[in-house]
Amino acid sequence: MEGFLLKQTVISEFCLTRRVQFYETDAAGIVHFSVFFRYMEEAEHAMWRAAGLNIAHQDAQVGFPRVAAGFEFFKPLRFPDEFEVHLQITRKSTKSLSYSATIVKNGQTAARGTLSVACVSSCPGKPMRGISIPSEIADCFEVATTEGTKA
Amino acid sequence: MEGFLLKQTVISEFCLTRRVQFYETDAAGIVHFSVFFRYMEEAEHAMWRAAGLNIAHQDAQVGFPRVAAGFEFFKPLRFPDEFEVHLQITRKSTKSLSYSATIVKNGQTAARGTLSVACVSSCPGKPMRGISIPSEIADCFEVATTEGTKA
Amino acid sequence: MEGFLLKQTVISEFCLTRRVQFYETDAAGIVHFSVFFRYMEEAEHAMWRAAGLNIAHQDAQVGFPRVAAGFEFFKPLRFPDEFEVHLQITRKSTKSLSYSATIVKNGQTAARGTLSVACVSSCPGKPMRGISIPSEIADCFEVATTEGTKA
Amino acid sequence: MEGFLLKQTVISEFCLTRRVQFYETDAAGIVHFSVFFRYMEEAEHAMWRAAGLNIAHQDAQVGFPRVAAGFEFFKPLRFPDEFEVHLQITRKSTKSLSYSATIVKNGQTAARGTLSVACVSSCPGKPMRGISIPSEIADCFEVATTEGTKA
């Protein structure tokens, strides 16, 4: 697996480009605030794929439930706006990861969010139990040192 | 378990009363059409509970994936409308069940739908395989003979 | 409208009882974290109805976009759990309202959230503009003084 | 606007490539059946954009509510499957359009759907009224004559 290791990229930030879908809007004519949390998670999962990982593999022994999430909303998104989700890793501990997300439309910040996830052992039907992030996952990520991608 | 059998009710129709939630609307100001399918399923699950059953028990050996679903839309629903979902069993075979659903607001039919579900063996990670509906489930349901509850 | 004023109740907290719907779960077998924000808003809208108000009336001149929202997650919810959303008003200013929400299942806190909404003039096609909450709405609410309903 | 006319493409089919998002799955580990209707609509809106049109413009005088939709489900989709939505126009009348959609994963048909939409005058707060599709929209679409893109 030396070849894999040579190619491996340590990731600390990711940018997802996305278009608002009609079913994501509400009767106020704007994207429903709960959907921004889906955008943030969509960017997280794309970042994991960019690292060669599947955050929710069907046969995985570990899972990554969300332990906290928040957003501040500055400007609405509307159908069919195009926007970016700038995701950065802001904290990495033995058992958890934290991200910040900036939603940008036409160069303007529409919303800013945070997300923290914990690593748990994944046994169907049993209570979740916090465990250390396996090294083959932890080694793929590091905390972002620059704020350059934030709008 | 004779007591259980004595109390058992055979069910062929069910009425769910529900209010439109804001996050179910879209930028056209009405409930998004995909949400009607959730209303129909919500009524199905409530009907199963009324029969003493959980259609998606965590440890169940059987599952009931949807094999077909359709809706005709006549009048829009808006936030915060109250409405009813009139559900009837229209077909019952060894391996599947079919329902019709009528969405009624203020005595007027807003939409009419159909849903067919099949019984499959439920093993995580394996392909679904059609099987006979277990008798303790099949015995709870029968095809509706009247159309009386339809608006 | 004196009669209305006589009957008016000033509200500072509200409890919504709700069941998890199947379409609110994800492949981890639990309610998707984004759905908790919908539960919190559902309780807010029910609280407004209890005060005789519709937070998103079709012809309203004012709207209440969300400016911030967050949740901490402690225990997962699963289909078909029953749970409560305990909502309290935590801040009331001229132009905004803040709430806290506690999601309780079987007497245990599953999640705790916060939500802040601002009052804006509502003109389709124009940018939102912050305005004072109309008195007929502001007079219906006051900050909760007790923490008694929180689990 | 002759230049526009010269460049104009009459469209009768469209293929959208898409990845399953985690929040689209349910506790059975598969994409919830209601989400397939969103995939079909997403492909429809992308087809309209390919024709230079926005199906739900904020200031539009016309709207296109869904009057009927259905799906047959053959194989489940799971996170993070990639799939295609093959959309074809199957009927075009003065006041309505009908589509068929085939959801294809790894060359295999996962589901087949249909969608019919009507053209209505769009006045907020007034009942919808069926009208003829404006020619600048109708001229962009024609019924598909081949079945070649269907899996």
Q: Which pLDDT tens digit goes with each residue over A97-147?
A: 999 999 999 999 999 999 999 999 977 667 889 999 999 999 999 999 975
Identity of the amino acid at C91: R
Is the pLDDT at D148 greater than 50? The verdict is no
Whether residue C25 and residue D30 make contact (CB cut-off 8 A), yes or no, is no
* B134/B122 Cα distance (integer angstroms): 13
pLDDT at B123: 75
- Enclosing H/E stretch for D120: strand D120-121
Asked if A58 reaches chain D (Cβ–Cβ under 8 Å), the answer is yes
Is the pLDDT at D3 greater than 70? The verdict is no
From first to last of its 151 residues, chain B has per-residue pLDDT tens of 334 444 567 999 999 999 999 999 999 999 999 999 999 999 999 999 999 999 998 778 899 999 999 999 999 999 999 999 999 999 999 999 999 999 999 999 999 999 999 999 977 667 889 999 999 999 999 999 975 443 3
User: Quick one: average pLDDT of D114-124?
Assistant: 91
Closest Cα in chain D, distance from residue B45 (Å): 14
pLDDT at C126: 76
Whether residue C78 and residue B58 make contact (CB cut-off 8 A), yes or no, is yes
Q: Scanning every residue of chain A, which has its alpha carbon at the shortest distance from the alpha carbon of B32?
A: A23
pLDDT band at A8 (very low <50, low <70, confident <90, very high): low
First to last CA, chain A: 38
Lowest mean pLDDT among A80-89, C131-140, D59-68: D59-68
- B30 to chain A: which residues are within 8 Å by CB? 27
- D42 to chain A: which residues are within 8 Å by CB? 21-23
The three-class DSSP label of residue D89 is strand
pLDDT at D147: 56
User: Quick one: average pLDDT of D9-37?
Assistant: 97
- Contact yes or no for D20/D79 (Cβ under 8 A): yes
Is the pLDDT at C3 greater than 50? The verdict is no
Average pLDDT, chain A: 91
Q: Scanning every residue of chain D, which has its alpha carbon at the shortest distance from the alpha carbon of B125?
A: D29
Is the pLDDT at C151 greater than 90? The verdict is no
**No. of helices (H) and no. of strands (E), chain D:** 3, 8
pLDDT at B147: 56
Is the pLDDT at A60 greater than 90? The verdict is no
Q: For chain D, which residues make up each domain, given as ranges?
A: 19-138
Average pLDDT, chain C: 91
pLDDT band at D128 (very low <50, low <70, confident <90, very high): confident
What is the model's pTM?
Answer: 0.93
Note the Cα D137 to chain centre separation in Å. 15
Whether residue A76 and residue C56 make contact (CB cut-off 8 A), yes or no, is no
pLDDT at A151: 36
User: Quick one: average pLDDT of D31-47?
Assistant: 98
ipTM for the complex?
Answer: 0.92
Count of pairs with CB atoms under 8 A, one residue in A, one in C = 65
pLDDT at C147: 56
Percent of chain A with pLDDT over 90: 81
Asked if A79 reaches chain B (Cβ–Cβ under 8 Å), the answer is yes
pLDDT at A126: 76
User: Quick one: average pLDDT of C20-40?
Assistant: 97
User: Quick one: average pLDDT of C39-54?
Assistant: 97
Among B50, B44, B30, which Cα is nearest to B110's? B30
User: Quick one: average pLDDT of D41-66?
Assistant: 93
Is the pLDDT at C83 greater than 60? The verdict is yes
User: Quick one: average pLDDT of C96-123?
Assistant: 96
* D18/D84 Cα distance (integer angstroms): 6
pLDDT at A4: 46
- Residue bearing tokens 């769009």: D122
Superfamily classification of domain D19-138:
Hotdog Thioesterase (3.10.129.10)
Average pLDDT, chain D: 91
Q: What is the DSSP annotation of A73-120?
A: E-S---TT-EEEEEEEEEEE-SSEEEEEEEEEETTEEEEEEEEEEE-E
- Contact yes or no for C65/C118 (Cβ under 8 A): yes
Among B138, B137, B143, B139, which Cα is nearest to B57's? B137
Asked if A79 reaches chain C (Cβ–Cβ under 8 Å), the answer is no
Superfamily classification of domain A2-138:
Hotdog Thioesterase (3.10.129.10)
CB atoms within 10 A of CB C71: 24
* A71/C70 Cα distance (integer angstroms): 6
CB half-sphere exposure, B116, CA atoms < 13 A:
14
Asked if B128 reaches chain D (Cβ–Cβ under 8 Å), the answer is yes
* C130/C6 Cα distance (integer angstroms): 30
* D118/B75 Cα distance (integer angstroms): 13
* A102/A72 Cα distance (integer angstroms): 10
Q: Scanning every residue of chain A, which has its alpha carbon at the shortest distance from the alpha carbon of C36?
A: A34
Which residues of D are known to be catalytic?
Answer: 26
- C27 to chain D: which residues are within 8 Å by CB? 22, 25-27, 29-30, 78-79
pLDDT band at C103 (very low <50, low <70, confident <90, very high): very high
User: Quick one: average pLDDT of A45-52?
Assistant: 97
User: Quick one: average pLDDT of C111-126?
Assistant: 90
